[in-house]
Structure 1
């Protein structure tokens, strides 16, 4: 392992999307070191979109990474979906998923979602429908002053971001700056859905350790309400196994659903 945690451009030069997917997104159980994170996240997205009947025309996922699991529940309720990332490797993986050539299957995730929705939909058909709804895969550097590709499609009815901001922001102040730009992309009354980790300083993919901003619940809530959102739902699940040698050191995982005033 490196002494220095990787971040930023390392996601385009070192990060291995297929290794990440095999480790953390192989199926609904996720990685054993992550406890119930993946199931918690999928249930959270179902609650935010299907049970809450959150819908609209245009949805943006900020910092999608190489995985599309974060928008499966939402895909039923929006006409246009836009994915985004900084990493050229992740953007390539997303494009490969869209054209059906990615060497990784998300079938178990689609199966899990359609079974929870209980409407008898076929998982393969749902994935194909979602591919058709993904209208573009956009580049974004969240630390830059302008997000031209994302802003060219605004306003969005909903924005999703999962395990992204804490992997990018070097401080709570920068986290707040990024949050403000995200809220600006939302139309009034638009919905933001965030899943992330609390108190995590690193995570491991393959042989490499990646940086994460260790942030607390009260800081996250303060940031988003300070950006003009009303929090409608907050749930969290603690990590009860933080032994040394794990793939990350997170204290807990959370879901936040909020609405722009």
Structure 2
């Protein structure tokens, strides 16, 4: 589907709070809990608990004002640098990082992580570690070769990108170009972890339908290998919920490392 058919996030933006409420809340009517929350959390925890992915710097370049995926990473990195393309997303994120009144409540995510890890007595400690590690929030410009110009980021040990490549890429060629930019931010041997929706063409935020690039598992695998990555882990879950907010057919969590 052509990008011009629907609004495009980098151009038009969206209400980040509404986005969180639609797809990542703890409301009983949220049909995306298994696909958007539990499946990614379980797989991220498994990937990081194996102990192969760790270091000083993690760069997070993810959709909206998400933080739930960082709970699995904060034990393994000293610094988390969060990149955002929207002032609105930055403001929403900082509300939570600064524990301000009105911040989106991620308490249900803390509980899911605790259930997965079997550490229900460490809920507050986990939130504190994420807040402490993720104090570096940087606005970036997708049009620039160095997206964070004039800031030059330190080479990253790991990049994690949750759902964002689907939303910022106009087409599959664009997706590959962003993978190339990710590679340039990584140390040799550095890790890249992607969360995405398979065969999605649109998603809804409020009253707006927005463009999403369409791809399948084979495309992601070939794209990563083509950009010099070695795939270490890949899990796919078929969609089982019913909702016209979004038209994906499955979700993917894939981990790879940059060839040396």
Pairwise same-fold verdict (TM > 0.5)? yes
Backbone CA RMSD of aligned residues: 2.3
Residue deviations 1:194-249 (CA, integer Å, cap 9, x gap): 1101110001111111110011221111111111110011110112456xx61111
Q: Deviations over 1:115-173 (max 9, x none)?
A: 32234552112111211111311112334332135962220111000111111111111
Matches within 5 A, 1:77-96: 77-96=76-95
Residue in structure 2 matched with residue 72 of structure 1 by the alignment: 71
- Offset of 1:28 from its aligned partner? 9.4
| Structure-2 separation of matches of 1:175 and 1:216 | 12
After TM superposition, list the pairs within 5 Å mapping 1:1-261 onto structure 2.
4-7=5-8, 8-11=10-13, 15-27=14-26, 31-32=30-31, 36-101=35-100, 102-119=102-119, 121-149=121-149, 152-240=152-240, 246-261=244-259
Q: Map Cα deviations across residues 81-125 of structure 1 (whole Å, 9 max, x no partner).
A: 011111111011111111112431112212221332234552112
The TM-score, its normalising length taken from structure 1, stands at 0.89
Task: Answer yes or no: is the 8 Å Cα contact 1:6–1:208 preserved in 2.
Answer: yes
How many residues of Structure 1 are paired with residues of Structure 2 in the alignment?
254
TM-score (norm 2): 0.89
Contact 1:151 1:185 in 2 (8 A): no
Distance 2:133 2:252 in 1: 27
Structure 1 stretches lacking a partner, 5+ long: none
Instruction: Say which SS state the counterpart of residue 79 (structure 1) adopts.
Output: strand
CA distances 1:167-206 after superposition (whole Å, capped 9, x unpaired): 1111111111110110111111111111101110001111
Unmatched 5+ residue regions in structure 2?
none
